[in-house]
């Protein structure tokens, strides 16, 4: 009986000491723009930039991205797409499902030749939401 208790205690200690290697990244937004397809399926024009200050959290532990807008947007990460990099941009992309189960791709782009300006693109088949973002302080 004492062996069983010792094994249970050791197992619980092992679980309690387990370390997670995922990370959480936080960003703040400064502005928002939207691009939509029209009824003919052609892309329209980007909307005027709207000033917004919201928190965006990339949580690799829970495989999700949360945009804390008025209506909170939760994106479950289905696939981590390998980093794409060229002379002008670094692109981190994620295949996701949103709150409604709709497929989308989220991309965090760093514009190297624009003082490392960061942007978050939320790409759906019929619309793209763009947030200008910066590291949360």
Mean pLDDT lowest among 15-24, 26-35, 96-105: 15-24
Is a pLDDT exceeding 70 seen at residue 111? yes
User: Do residues 91 and 105 lie in contact, with contact meaning Cβ atoms separated by under 8 Å?
Assistant: no
pLDDT at position 21 is 53
Is a pLDDT exceeding 50 seen at residue 106? yes
pLDDT at position 22 is 65
pTM: 0.81
Is a pLDDT exceeding 50 seen at residue 47? yes
Output 12 or 1, whichever has higher pLDDT.
1
For 74, the token pair is: 């939760």
Q: What is the DSSP string of 10-29?
A: HHHHHHHHPPP---EEEEEE
Q: What is the DSSP string of 79-96?
A: EEEEEEE-SSEEEEEEEE
Backbone angles phi, psi at 7, to 5 degrees: -65, -45
Query: In sequence order, what are the residues at sequence separation of 6 or more whose Cβ sits closer than 8 angstroms to the Cβ of residue 98?
Result: 73, 74, 75, 76, 104
């Amino acid at each position: 009986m004492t062996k069983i208790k010792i094994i249970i205690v050791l197992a619980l200690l092992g679980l309690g000491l387990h370390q997670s290697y995922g990370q959480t990244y936080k960003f703040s937004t400064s502005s928002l723009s939207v691009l939509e397809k029209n009824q003919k399926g052609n892309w329209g024009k980007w909307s005027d930039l709207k000033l917004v200050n919201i928190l965006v959290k990339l949580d690799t532990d829970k495989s999700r991205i949360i945009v804390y807008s008025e209506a909170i947007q939760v994106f479950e990460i289905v696939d981590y797409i390998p980093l794409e990099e060229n002379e002008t941009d670094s692109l981190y992309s994620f295949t996701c499902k949103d709150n409604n189960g709709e497929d989308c791709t989220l991309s965090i782009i760093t514009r190297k030749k624009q003082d490392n300006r960061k942007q978050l693109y939320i790409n759906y088949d019929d619309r793209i939401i763009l947030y200008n973002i910066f590291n949360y302080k």
